[in-house]
Amino acid sequence: MPHEVHKAIARNAMLMKALPDRHIETLLSKALWRHYERGETLFLQDEEATAIHIVLDGWIKLYRVTPNGNEAVVSVFARGESFGEAVALRNLPYPVSAEAATASDVMHIPTNALVDLIRHDSEVGLTILSATFNHLHSLVAQLEQLKAQTGAQRVGDFLLNLCDKVSGPCTVKMPYDKVLIAGRLGMKPESLSRSFARLKDARVKIEKDLAKIEDVTLLREYVDVET
């Protein structure tokens, strides 16, 4: 049985929180709850998409293998984020593979359960459209961030999104794989290391997989300064 904390995370995910309570409970009851160890595969590119996925804990990376055999990270998803909506609802194969970048917990909503709700309540369909729009908006925001912020500011914003406090000190645990973080932020690993070093100006100290933020407010001000 899923832990109550995981249920709460699922309820607050973008895909779920706009739905009426009765529909949320229906989806939670039909969902599959899985734990993945680091490196374990969720699905492979070109497999049939039969579910929508919500990350409850950990980090899930989506990637493609290039013709020369290299792995290209397409996106990374963390707690509360969902993925796979578009291909699952259109009965398309996955265009990417998904792998647990860290030990992770994931909720899988069978596509047929969601389709049944859409057929009986048009409000569900509007919610899915809204979630898809928000994904698009997020991508546009990422593009704007790439142009408007320095590398250190992007990393700072990344840490703020992981922080569970609005002020004061905060310690954030990150995936230690720098390639993974760099891929999410559109940076090279060496650029990420330099950005970590520059965050000392915002009173942030990096120790292995921990980011020790002295003052969340100070870091937010650092991130928001126009360059």
pLDDT in tens, 8-17: 888 888 778 7
- Which of 146, 170, 201 is the endpoint of a domain? 146
Residues 70 and 168 occupy one common structural domain? no
Residues 178 and 203 occupy one common structural domain? yes
Q: Residue 109 belongs to what domain range? A: 4-146
Mean pLDDT of 69-80: 83
Residues 141 and 37 occupy one common structural domain? yes
How far apart CA 84 and CA 216 sit, in angstroms, is 32
Integer CA distances (angstroms), 36 to 24, 49, 100, 162, in order: 24, 18, 6, 20
pTM: 0.77
Residues 39 and 104 occupy one common structural domain? yes
Mean pLDDT of 213-219: 95
Residues 80 and 43 occupy one common structural domain? yes
Residues 16 and 70 occupy one common structural domain? yes
At residue 52, what are phi and psi to the nearest 5 degrees? -110, 145
Which CATH number is 84's domain given?
A: 2.60.120.10
Mean pLDDT of 133-157: 72
Reference 89, options 105, 107, 113; nearest CA is: 113
Asked whether the beta carbons of 159 and 198 are under 8 A apart, the reply is no
Provide the token pair at 54: 């919500």
Share of the chain above pLDDT 90, in %: 38
Which CATH number is 189's domain given?
A: 1.10.10.10
- Which of 125, 146, 167 is the endpoint of a domain? 146
Residues 123 and 162 occupy one common structural domain? no
